Amino acid sequence: MSGRFLTTDLRGHIAFFVAAAVLMIFTCNRGEVVESARGLPLMWDRDTADFRLLNYSTPVLNLTIERRTDDGREYYYWGTQTLVADSSEELEFPVGWSGRTVVPRVAALRALRDLGPLSPDQRESYGIEGSDASLAIDFGDERRELVVGDSVFGGDDRYAMEVATGRGMVISREIIDPLRRGEGAVRERMMHDFARDRIATVVVNTEGRERTMERTGGGEWTAPGATDPDPGFANFMERVNALGIDGYRDLPPAESLKLLLRIDYLDRNGDLLAFMEVSRDESAERPSYFIRSERTRIIARAHRGLTERVEQALADLF
């Protein structure tokens, strides 16, 4: 194998492990989010199960994060965004960890400081008066709305005021920053959410052909009933693991897509853990690739170079 391919494979490994590390950090920190806020002033206290949606609006963008339920009654979070400069285009996308961690923060909102009822002078001083930035949270049976003001001097936390009560507060940048940065910050970036050692079997389907492979305890791939590892299939899976999401903009119609492959990931009981579909846009002048998984729910743009390498390796599997 050439040095160029070794370098590319290494980059793919690095990208995969960095993504896994980020996921682990976010997972570990989810419990700490609530714990670290204990003792701070509680502005309101609702359960995340009561959350319906939030809307963050500025002169630049309008962003909504909504709790939805699928056919299996599992809930997930869905985002929609419009840019004020082009309000005719609404972007839809699944919400990832960065966006989902905002939900418990706004459901039971703890302020860094409770400023009490704000006087007209305070509203002016804190950038509340005349502000075009707002954060509204809908719980179904009630709606709470904040006007978002200036940043606190020397930091990125923000002044805010509840519209209904006139009560002022300082809210954490960890709430506002992901929302302010919009889709690029809160969209789903992970294809899957499970520990790799749970995978026992994968089933690869492409153009009516199917191949089943088993994963050993050491992470090697073998044919069912065989003992010798299959390095070619291992190389293919390494390329698959390197795939990532490039975004959800300018998605083509389903009829222009050709399904290149589907991979089903099964656990030791034969139950479906996850899946991935890779498609190519047949109508595009240059090859354009798209991926879909149980987490994205819709197709997402895939990195062209990395997906081409998967397509090349696929030809050697059958």
Percent over 90 (pLDDT), the chain: 78
Contact 91, 248 (CB under 8 A): yes
DSSP-derived 3-state class of residue 211: strand
pLDDT of 81 higher than 50: yes
* Residue 163 neighbours by CB under 8 Å, 6+ apart: 145, 146, 147
Domain definitions of the chain by residue range: 1-38, 40-186, 191-314
User: For residues 194 and 198, what is the distance between their CA atoms, to the nearest angstrom?
Assistant: 7
Q: Which amino acid is at 119?
A: S
User: For residues 113 and 40, what is the distance between their CA atoms, to the nearest angstrom?
Assistant: 7
87 versus 202: which is more confidently predicted? 202
pLDDT of 28 higher than 50: no
User: For residues 150 and 231, what is the distance between their CA atoms, to the nearest angstrom?
Assistant: 57
pTM of the model: 0.82
Contact 306, 239 (CB under 8 A): yes
36 versus 194: which is more confidently predicted? 194
